[in-house]
Amino acid sequence: MKLTRRQFVVGTAAGAVGAAGIYELVDQFSGGSPQRAAGAVKLPEQHLLEGVRVVRDDGVEVLVPPLHHQILTARVAVDRSELANARVELERELAGLDDDYAPSPAGLGVTVAWGRPYFDRFVPAAARRLLPLDRRAGKPVLIDAERFPSDPEDTRLEQNHVAFLLRSDARDHIEDAAKRIRGTKLFDVTSVRRGFAGGGFDGEQSLPKQMAEAAQIPGADLIPETAELFLGFTSTQRAGMGPGGIANFETLGYVDLRGSDYFRHGTHMHLSHIHEDVEAWYLNFDFDERVATAFRPNLDVKQGTQTVRQGPQDVSSEADVRRDFHSSGRIGHSAPIQTTSRLLADHVGEDGTVFVKGTAIPVRADFNTLDNPFAWSERSDEVGVLPAAGVHFVVFNPTGDDFRRNRLAMDGHLPGGTIPFPPRGREQGFNSVLSTTHRQNFIVPPRRHRSFPLSEV
């Protein structure tokens, strides 16, 4: 097979560092695992990590995400009659991982999320009775993923039974977990998705910058040296991430738990893969336009700033978005999403936690990737030869409809009416440089029911 210049260079560079390929470079670039707090409490939620470091960047508090990420998607490989044993066996493996690794970036975060095909095929009666309902939408919290107005027509809506999200600063922790999960023989893996995040906050060259350059991604040399993500802006501002259990089913009152505690401490997860045109972002958008696109128009930010404040006092209302649109013809990215993703009033959770107006609801866990679009897939057309810049977008919301509202707002579909844009218009936030390839929704049960949920009911 003939290789192109990029294939040749990338292939050899990856080969030079070992069979694990380009992702092994993450360890080399990051110098291995950073110092983190060791111990961590095992929370009833699967989707929350303890021991996450907080740093200040450009005067803003930022959460430092785990360095390494991997997602396995799979089909259940056993019959309904074997579910009871399967549940015990998987839980034994997961409990073993809990015993061996603290649920923190220094250890290992394991989140097991189940798709609608699992509930429909294996536990339909129990699901009808116990799957939580979204009070606002009048639907189950788990709804099928859809193509949004700015999505390409060929965005694949996936039908996986289950997804395992593995997060750690140590790649060998993730590899160990993946091996142990696969070793149960309970699943037929449908895809493997890998990526990385973080670096750069202490002044060193960031991982996305280094990885993009190593892979010779078009536009890699335009990424700022310390950028947290390929597109140059920090996205893990503490105030921009849903705090604690805010995305839990039970916290905000969006969800009817059907008179049962079965799914208390659970949440909803959306998973998608998005290609990013890094070169177009830096060669067609000047800094001010990048700020206006990533955040909101008319935002005064010092040239070269990477971390922009996103606290409750910086939140845009729908009126703000419409006013900005009338003055500039643009809506940005963060601003329209904030019209649906932030609390409109103070809220007291059922455990007494006070969430102030403007607090973010979604708990994001997205990470950059060089998968094109996946590191491995059972479908040959889902594994490109060349690396490609992108993001595996992972977000936890109280319901599928809550995610849907946020994603529609990103396209200008605001609660009070739609601002019309051409599909993927440049004035519509990031959309002109993003291209979504895959989407699926999942339920993340609480830790106690993470293994084949409802199979014991």
Partner 1 sequence: MRGLLATGLVLCACAALAAGCGEARKADAAPAAKPKPTCAYRAGWQKLADKVRVPVYCPGWLPDPLTSQIGGRWNNINSVSKDRSWLESFVWQETGGGAAGGELHVNLRGYPGRTAIPTCRTGGSDSRDVACFRDPGQTFSANGITARLYRVNEDADTWHALLLWRKGGTLYTLSEHVAPPLTFDHVVRYLKRELASLELIRPA
Q: How far apart are CA 113 and CA 440, in angstroms?
A: 11
**DSSP structure class, residue 352:** S
Q: Which is nearer to partner 1, 93 or 289 (by Cβ)? A: 289
Q: Which is nearer to partner 1, 4 or 85 (by Cβ)? A: 4
Beta strands in 81-159 (DSSP E): 109-115, 133-134, 139-140, 156-157
Q: Which is nearer to partner 1, 126 or 280 (by Cβ)? A: 280
Site for partner 1 in 68-87 (CB under 8 A): none
Q: Which is nearer to partner 1, 210 or 272 (by Cβ)? A: 210
Q: Which is nearer to partner 1, 220 or 389 (by Cβ)? A: 220
The yes or no reply on residue 16 touching partner 1 (CB under 8 A) is yes
Report the residue from 17, 78, 222, 386 that binds partner 1 according to the rule CB under 8 A: 222
Q: What distances in angstroms separate CA 212 from CA 76, 238, 341, one per listed residue?
A: 35, 26, 31
Given the rule CB under 8 A, which of 86-94, 129-137, 248-256, 280-288 is the region that contacts partner 1?
280-288
Per-position x/- string for 178-217, each x denoting binding to partner 1 as judged by CB under 8 A, each - no binding: --------------------------------------x-
Q: Which is nearer to partner 1, 13 or 133 (by Cβ)? A: 13
Q: How far apart are CA 428 and CA 294, in angstroms?
A: 10
- In this structure, the number of other CB atoms found within 10 A of the CB of residue 53 comes to 18
Per-position x/- string for 302-331, each x denoting binding to partner 1 as judged by CB under 8 A, each - no binding: ---------------------------xx-
Name the strand (E) or helix (H) holding 87.
helix 83-100
Site for partner 1 in 397-426 (CB under 8 A): 421-422, 425-426
Q: Which is nearer to partner 1, 287 or 376 (by Cβ)? A: 287
Report the residue from 286, 346, 351, 456 that binds partner 1 according to the rule CB under 8 A: 286
Given the rule CB under 8 A, which of 100-108, 194-202, 218-226, 364-372 is the region that contacts partner 1?
218-226
Peptide bond into 373 cis (omega under 30): yes
Q: How far apart are CA 275 and CA 434, in angstroms?
A: 6
Q: Which residue has the tokens 């990470």?
A: 367
Q: Which is nearer to partner 1, 95 or 283 (by Cβ)? A: 283
DSSP helix/strand/coil, 384: coil
Please give the full DSSP string across 222-251, using - where no structure is assigned.
Answer: GS-TT-SSTTSS---BGGGS--TTTTSTTT
CB 457 within 8 A of CB 183: no
Q: How far apart are CA 361 and CA 312, in angstroms?
A: 11
Q: What distances in angstroms separate CA 385 from CA 222, 274, 359, 374, 435, one per listed residue?
A: 23, 17, 42, 11, 18
- In this structure, the number of other CB atoms found within 10 A of the CB of residue 187 comes to 21
Report the residue from 114, 285, 396, 442 that binds partner 1 according to the rule CB under 8 A: 285
Q: How far apart are CA 45 and CA 25, in angstroms?
A: 32
Tell the smallest beta-carbon distance from residue 332 to partner 1 (Å): 13
The yes or no reply on residue 219 touching partner 1 (CB under 8 A) is yes
The yes or no reply on residue 8 touching partner 1 (CB under 8 A) is yes
The yes or no reply on residue 144 touching partner 1 (CB under 8 A) is no
Q: Taking each helix axis as running N to C, give the angle between helix 171-183 and helix 83-100, from 0 to 180 degrees, rounded to the nearest 10.
A: 160
Q: Which is nearer to partner 1, 283 or 319 (by Cβ)? A: 283
Q: How far apart are CA 174 and CA 199, in angstroms?
A: 19
Contacts of 414 (CB under 8 A, 6+ apart): 318, 321, 322, 336, 339, 340
Tell the smallest beta-carbon distance from residue 158 to partner 1 (Å): 31
Q: Which is nearer to partner 1, 396 or 421 (by Cβ)? A: 421
**Rg of the Cα atoms in the chain:** 21
The yes or no reply on residue 346 touching partner 1 (CB under 8 A) is no
The yes or no reply on residue 146 touching partner 1 (CB under 8 A) is no
Tell the smallest beta-carbon distance from residue 421 to partner 1 (Å): 8
Tell the smallest beta-carbon distance from residue 404 to partner 1 (Å): 25
How many residues bind partner 1 (CB under 8 A)? The answer is 31
Tell the smallest beta-carbon distance from residue 277 to partner 1 (Å): 12
- The rounded Cα 358 to chain-centroid distance in angstroms is 21
Report the residue from 2, 179, 302, 326 that binds partner 1 according to the rule CB under 8 A: 2
Q: Which is nearer to partner 1, 413 or 450 (by Cβ)? A: 413
The yes or no reply on residue 353 touching partner 1 (CB under 8 A) is no
Q: How far apart are CA 249 and CA 255, in angstroms?
A: 6
The yes or no reply on residue 13 touching partner 1 (CB under 8 A) is yes
CB 274 within 8 A of CB 434: yes
Report the residue from 403, 427, 443, 454 that binds partner 1 according to the rule CB under 8 A: 427
- The rounded Cα 146 to chain-centroid distance in angstroms is 17
Tokens of 29: 């670039």
Q: Which is nearer to partner 1, 282 or 442 (by Cβ)? A: 282
Chain residues that interact with partner 1, rule: CB under 8 A: 2-6, 8-9, 12-13, 16, 216, 218-222, 279, 282-287, 289, 329-330, 421-422, 425-427
